[in-house]
């Protein structure tokens, strides 16, 4: 009976793999098409700046960055945000009742004073205690919101949304490094779109290998450490193939919480971020899409690979496992909370195609891999494995994975899709990561995902622990 079960499982997994590979190939083709379109529609930086800088029509943006106990980096990070090149933007730093000197440093550095402020609590967040602005004209863009501790980034982001006055807002982490041209490139899509743009996503990259000067990345390279290097590869594949591919058919299911631009009005009408969610970014975008669909409104969600945001990835096993467990839990939450959208053609391609893909190939995969691993160990000892066939199947998976990475490299180099240093060493590191990934990195991710699922099922209290950061190299 066990053997029959094993054979059924083997055939199922084989067909599953073929389907997965087919969907990857489809995504590759779609992302290629999307990049071609971007090549045509996104002009060079000088042209974008030339057109948008002088125009009063360029939409204003609010940058929302929640901060909690960031005394070490807060001033550098705010200075970095103040350096962003864009004609009309405001920066909203939301202090989530830090217990260190974050607030004190901000007040002293930027000469902040409390100002009267008309705050309508449009989306749920803990009460706002005060709003501060600088008396110094050169910091007129800066608004600091001091609020009651919410414990989650989503709560802080919601407080920022309540304060923001512009049509668009960008949600980021206070420790993220954003390129100076980022807002221009994102906004180009908003002004160039014939449909209302409700969200624009950027490419997240690891800052672990970068050299930073005055809050700007001056040398972007692939991290030297193993874990961040694997994550870099994973991010590149996800942003250049997955997200870009889905954006081609306007079905992008997620805009990264690290750096994403949203339409304030639609975000508010959809209820903003869910402070209790572990995947608040996916959750909000799906609710925004639901709102637009339910009201029969046209919309567009775009992904711009050329807009890069550098964030420090977990470099220790402990922090990585904590992050991935949380993500897995978040995915389970999404599947559970938005189940009515899955396989539902009312929500267009996102309901009929993307969310089923997410369910079958992202949600079920760690579970299947775990069962496969148990079967492998059991039948290795029992002698039920045809090793020559296994070797060929393994070769198939390995060569496919190598092909995907080669494609990403070719894609990135040929189109300069991502705005970073395109050196031979970077690409060699990525190739090395590809060769080692199935043995060193993937098992960890699978394990963490299963732990995350288990925690969701067993209803264990979720803890939002910050990633232990070591800081980036400074010039």
Partner 1 sequence: MIGYPRSRTVSEPYNIGKVAISSIRYYILLVVAYFKYILQYVFDKFVDYPWETKVAFLILVVCSTLIIIIWASLLVTSIREKRKHWLHHKMEQNYGKGMDYILSSEASELLSRAQIAHFFDLDVSVIGKSILNGKHEKAAFVDLFYTKFITQRSESSRMENIHKMLGMFEIPEFLEKEVSHGNMKRKVLALNKIRPFKLPLNTWVVNTLLNSRYLHVQRLAMYSTIMSSSDSSLEYFETDFFDKHCCIKDEIELAYSLQRRRKEGLKLPNLARWAHIQKNEKAQCMFVRLMRRFNEVEYCGQLTDLFGENKKKKLIEEIARTWGYLHYTECEDLLIEALLTQADDTKVAIMHAMTRLATGKSLDALLEGFANTTNPHVRYEALRCIYNYGAQGRKLFKKLESEATEADKKYFAFFNNPITLEKVRLDREQAYHPSVETVFNG
Q: How far apart are CA 418 and CA 236, in angstroms?
A: 9
Q: How far apart are CA 214 and CA 132, in angstroms?
A: 25
Q: Out of 1, 4, 120, 439, point to the residue binding partner 1 (CB under 8 A).
A: 120
CB of 176 to partner 1, least distance (A): 24
Kindly state the DSSP code that residue 175 receives in the 8-state scheme. Answer: T
Nearest residue (CB) to partner 1, 108 versus 140: 140
Q: How far apart are CA 463 and CA 257, in angstroms?
A: 18
Task: State which of positions 336-395 bind partner 1 (CB under 8 A).
Answer: 389, 392-393, 395
Q: Out of 73, 193, 238, 450, point to the residue binding partner 1 (CB under 8 A).
A: 193
Site mask for partner 1 (CB under 8 A), range 46-75, x = bound: xx--xxxxxxxxxxx---------------
CB of 467 to partner 1, least distance (A): 33
Q: How far apart are CA 256 and CA 469, in angstroms?
A: 19
User: Are 112 and 57 in contact, with CB atoms under 8 Å apart?
Assistant: no
Select the span of 10-18, 199-207, 347-355, 450-458 touching partner 1 (CB under 8 A): 10-18
CB of 10 to partner 1, least distance (A): 8
**How far is Cα of residue 235 from the mean position of the Cα atoms in its chain?**
9
113 counts as binding partner 1 under rule CB under 8 A: yes
Q: How far apart are CA 194 and CA 33, in angstroms?
A: 19
7 counts as binding partner 1 under rule CB under 8 A: no
CB of 395 to partner 1, least distance (A): 5
Q: How far apart are CA 356 and CA 295, in angstroms?
A: 23
User: Are 188 and 42 in contact, with CB atoms under 8 Å apart?
Assistant: yes
143 counts as binding partner 1 under rule CB under 8 A: yes
Nearest residue (CB) to partner 1, 398 versus 447: 398
Size of the site for partner 1 (CB under 8 A): 57
Nearest residue (CB) to partner 1, 126 versus 141: 141
**Residue whose C-alpha is closest to residue 27's, from 407, 437, 459:** 407
Question: Which stretches does DSSP call E strand in 193-296?
Answer: 197-206, 211-213, 216-219, 259-263
How far, CA to CA in Å, does 336 sit from each of 63, 160, 208, 347, 363? 31, 28, 34, 17, 11
> According to the 3-state scheme, what is the secondary structure of 239-262?
HHHHHHHHHHCCCCCCCCCCEEEE
16 counts as binding partner 1 under rule CB under 8 A: no
Nearest residue (CB) to partner 1, 11 versus 378: 11
Q: Out of 3, 18, 364, 435, point to the residue binding partner 1 (CB under 8 A).
A: 18
**Residue whose C-alpha is closest to residue 220's, from 201, 240, 233, 205:** 205
User: Are 147 and 126 in contact, with CB atoms under 8 Å apart?
Assistant: yes
409 counts as binding partner 1 under rule CB under 8 A: yes
40 counts as binding partner 1 under rule CB under 8 A: yes
Q: Out of 1, 4, 118, 475, point to the residue binding partner 1 (CB under 8 A).
A: 118
Select the span of 37-45, 95-103, 266-274, 461-469 touching partner 1 (CB under 8 A): 37-45
Please give the residue ranges that form the binding site for partner 1 (CB under 8 A).
11, 14, 18, 21, 36, 39-41, 43, 46-47, 50-60, 88, 90, 113, 115-118, 120, 133-135, 140, 143, 165, 188, 190-194, 389, 392-393, 395-396, 399-400, 402-403, 406-407, 409-410, 413-414
């Amino acid at each position: 009976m066990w053997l029959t079960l094993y054979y059924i499982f083997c055939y199922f997994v084989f067909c599953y793999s073929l389907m997965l590979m087919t969907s990857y190939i489809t995504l590759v083709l779609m992302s290629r098409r999307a990049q071609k379109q971007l090549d045509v529609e996104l002009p060079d930086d000088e042209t974008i700046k030339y057109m948008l800088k002088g125009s009063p029509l360029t939409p204003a943006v609010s940058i929302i960055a929640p901060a909690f106990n960031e005394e070490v980096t807060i001033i550098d990070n705010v200075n970095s945000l103040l350096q962003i090149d864009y004609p009309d933007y405001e920066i909203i730093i939301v202090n989530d009742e830090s217990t260190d000197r974050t607030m004190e440093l901000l007040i002293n550095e930027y000469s902040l004073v409390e100002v009267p402020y008309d705050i309508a609590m449009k989306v749920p967040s803990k009460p706002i205690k005060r709003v501060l602005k600088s008396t110094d004209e050169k910091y007129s863009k800066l608004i600091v919101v001091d609020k009651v501790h919410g414990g989650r980034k989503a709560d802080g982001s919601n407080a920022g949304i309540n304060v923001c006055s512009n049509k668009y807002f960008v949600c980021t982490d206070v420790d993220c490094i954003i390129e100076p041209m980022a807002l221009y490139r994102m906004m180009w899509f908003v002004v160039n779109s014939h449909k209302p743009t409700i969200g624009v996503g950027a490419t997240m990259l690891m800052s672990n290998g970068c050299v930073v000067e005055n809050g700007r990345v001056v040398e972007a390279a692939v991290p030297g450490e193993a874990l961040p290097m694997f994550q870099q590869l994973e991010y590149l594949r996800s942003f250049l193939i997955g997200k870009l591919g889905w954006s081609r058919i306007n079905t992008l299911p997620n805009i990264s919480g690290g750096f994403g631009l949203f339409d304030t009005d639609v975000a508010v009408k959809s209820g903003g971020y869910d402070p209790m969610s572990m995947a608040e970014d996916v959750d909000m975008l799906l609710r925004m899409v639901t709102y637009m669909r339910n009201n029969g409104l046209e919309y567009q969600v775009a992904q711009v690979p050329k807009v890069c945001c550098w964030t420090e990835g977990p470099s220790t096993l402990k922090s990585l496992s904590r992050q991935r467990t949380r993500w897995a839990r978040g995915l389970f939450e999404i599947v559970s909370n938005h189940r009515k959208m899955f396989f539902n053609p009312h929500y267009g391609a996102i309901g009929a195609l993307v969310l089923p893909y997410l369910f079958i190939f992202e949600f079920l995969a760690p579970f299947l891999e775990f069962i496969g691993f148990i079967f492998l160990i059991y039948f290795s000892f029992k002698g039920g494995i045809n090793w020559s066939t296994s070797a060929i199947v393994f070769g198939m998976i390995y060569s496919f994975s190598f092909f995907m990475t080669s494609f990403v490299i070719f894609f990135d180099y040929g189109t300069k899709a991502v705005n970073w240093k395109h050196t031979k060493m970077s690409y060699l590191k990525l190739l090395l990561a590809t060769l080692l990934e199935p043995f060193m990195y993937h098992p960890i991710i699978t394990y963490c995902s299963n732990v995350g699922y288990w925690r969701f099922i067993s209803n264990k209290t979720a803890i939002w622990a910050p990633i232990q950061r070591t800081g980036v190299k400074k010039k």
